[in-house]
Amino acid sequence: MDVRSAVKDIITRYASPKFQVQDGAFARFKARDRKAGINVFIHVLPRIMEKSPRMQKEFTQLSRAIQLLDHPHVVRAMEVAQDKGIAYLVHSAVDETRRLSAQLASEPMDMERAGQIITQIGAALEYVGNKRVPHGALTPDQILLNENGEVAVLGVGLAGLAALLGARGEASHNAYLAPEQRLADHAPTVRGDVYSLAAILFRLLTGMDPDLDASSTSSLRADQINDRIPPAVGQVVARAMDADPLQRPRSPEDFVLGLLSAIRAPAAAARQPAASQTSAGETVDAPAWPEPLPFPERAHIPAPDMSILDEISQQTRAMLEQASGLIQMPTYNESLDLSEEDDLPNFDRKEWE
């Protein structure tokens, strides 16, 4: 059975399946769940999975971890499975107008409102990162925002599934992905999510997409584009978008704490007017800012002195060299059962309607 026939077998289990878009490495279909009676999105990865026990075990562990996610700011997966080697993920369909990408404007967003949105996204990323399912593909299109300002994150697990199967979509022009993912095809990481979170904040505060240049340290900072942003906030965003992952905050929580600290810092208050006049001519003092929160810094651990292990190392090396001549490694002849096509099939609406 070829890839397209396998994909068709999966999506026709649902009523009225229609192709929507090539979403990264996945083909996304919209359909109706016959049992639940609700509309769903089916994300299908059109590449046949390797049949080795190692691959099957890793897929089972990842799919179970994705389905066990339970957080108020994360859209839960209804099903994560594979059929005939084709992996797919299903979740309830969403209102496209609720996507943050559909609500972005060219004007910068108020810093307090942007902070509220980023705090909720950061909580979701912190949770999935602790569950060892970093998002890995966070963009404004993967964030839902309702009229009450409540946030939900879509697509958790998709990047991990794609990385597991060695598939990738067109990511080189995605300004919200960390350089190591966008340019070097690294697997999803927590620090990569930190970069994406900061890139989204950069967009909210400036009204501009981040620079695609991987050397982000040389790019304009948010406070250089929008002079209403305190330099401390611009510095926090720039650090989180550093091209070197090790220079970024260790986790989304660290980033959010640093952001809140910068927003509340006395330096931020100094950028505000000391007083303002109401329409009645009354003078109102600017509100006092609370004390800043501590900004978590990376721990600097000195390298241990390994000289005391030299003698043990030499003895161990001699033992291994002696044993190597007595050990014969078995020959592994199992071949990978991958699709004949190295590239993922492209889909279009006419083919599936």
Closest CA to 135 of 64, 214, 188: 188
- Could you tell me which residues are beta bridge partners of residue 28? 21, 43
What is 97-271+281-285's CATH number? 1.10.510.10
pLDDT at 287: 41
Distance CA 24, CA 167 (A): 9
Phi, psi of 53, rounded to the nearest 5 degrees: -60, -35
pLDDT at 168: 72
CA dihedral 232, 234, 238, 239 (to 10 degrees): 20
pLDDT at 184: 83
Distance CA 134, CA 118 (A): 16
Closest CA to 252 of 129, 98, 96: 129
H helical segments located in the chain: 3-11, 53-67, 100-103, 111-130, 158-164, 179-182, 190-206, 222-225, 231-240, 252-264, 266-270, 310-324, 349-352
pLDDT at 23: 82
CATH class of 12-94: alpha beta
Triad 62, 340, 46: Cα angle to 5° = 40
Residue 145: strand, helix, or coil: strand
Residues of the chain predicted below pLDDT 70: 1, 169-172, 213-219, 266-353
The maximal CA–CA distance of the chain, rounded, in angstroms, is 94
Record the pTM.
Answer: 0.75
**How many CA atoms does the CB half-sphere of 199 hold within 13 Å?**
29
Task: Delimit the domains of the chain by residue range.
Answer: 12-94, 97-271+281-285
